[in-house]
Structure 1
Amino acid sequence: MNTGTLIGSLIFAGVLLVAVVFLYRKMIQGWRGRAQRQLAMIGTLPALPEMLSAPTIPATKGLYVGSTLAPSWLDRIAVGDLSDRGKATLTRFPEGIMVRREGATPLWIAQDKIVAVRTERGHAGKAMTFDGVLVIRWTLPAGVQVDTGFRADDHKAYELWTREENG
């Protein structure tokens, strides 16, 4: 490799690095801006109840896919850790549904705030096969409806979750 080619390659690599860093920073700014815009709309999340009855559906292990603003399965919520995917367990109680997420705060969905429990092909940018994601539509204390997605390790559990909701 001659000196001219080496210098040209280094300049190109430098320009490419600067462009990648610039785009990455813009992406982070956009995500933070989205979280700021959604903050007033989302409000504070409900706290876990102090006392719970025995579970009506035992803990179902799987992946917390994320939460989106209903009805759009792609309009991800950026506030707090609601957008963070991770291993989780989903448990149904007479009082509501608890989502325990690894490395994130537990999520409580009160029974009177649940609108629907259904299965979908995709949620929060994660596309799956037919009925691959369990989606819980519920209403936040601020009055906004959100969809929370959960992909169970065993998809046979979906029947129990949807049957429980639909009576």
Structure 2
Amino acid sequence: MDRLLLTLLVFAFFLLALWAMRRSWRRRARSQSAQLPPFPQTPDDPGEELLPEAKGLYVSTTTAGNWQDRIVTRGVGMRGRAVLRRYAGGVEIDRAGAPGFFIPRDSIVEVKRASAIAGKVMGTDSLIVITWRLGERELDTGFRGDDLDVYPQWIESLSEREIKGGAQ
């Protein structure tokens, strides 16, 4: 009898913890919905692709500089398979089974390699992190490509010099 009671208590505690995590996630999403404007959608005619698409894993979007502060509003909190497409106007993040979004070229602040972002920590710099502005806030969006050899091409294509239009 004691064993059954202990088992039920542990199971009830586990269910309570799951409920609390779900409630917290939903509260965070509601709060962020009020703070952040909607994520841009891919234009109807984005133009010609400037780079071959990169397939991989969309990891997460976080507050810039704070790799643990995940943005969860409007479905961007869940990681999953994705494809990056580079157009003259920006970058499309086409997510499988989740809403995709578009990062306009003029809102991109920095593009770099990193080893960690909410949802993924690795020993090597195997993530591409795009820092960009959405309204008044800067965000970091992380992507883990299947082919790491394309990273230099993507980083160069999205570099600040090209975005600012300066020549050096």
Same fold, TM-score > 0.5, yes or no: yes
Shift >4 Å, 4+ stretches: none
Give, in angstroms, the shift of residue 36 of structure 1. 1.6
State the identity as a percent. Answer: 34
Structure 2 residue runs of 5 or longer lacking an equivalent are 162-168
Q: Deviations over 1:124-161 (max 9, x none)?
A: 13101321110011111x22111110000011111111
Q: Residue in 2 aligned with 1:162? A: 155
Give, in angstroms, the shift of residue 47 of structure 1. 2.2
Distance in 1 between residues matched to 2:33 and 2:85, nearest whole Å: 27
Q: Residue in 2 aligned with 1:3? A: none
TM-score norm. by structure 2 comes to 0.91
TM-score norm. by structure 1 comes to 0.91
Q: Deviations over 1:68-117 (max 9, x none)?
A: 11110110011021011110000111110001000011210011111111
Q: Residue in 2 aligned with 1:17? A: 11
Q: Give 1:1-167 correspondences, 5 Å limit.
A: 7-140=1-134, 142-166=135-159, 167=161
Counterpart residue identity of residue 51, structure 1? D
Distance in 2 between residues matched to 1:96 and 1:85, nearest whole Å: 21
Structure having the higher Rg: 1
What is the RMSD of the two structures over their aligned residues, measured on CA atoms?
A: 1.1
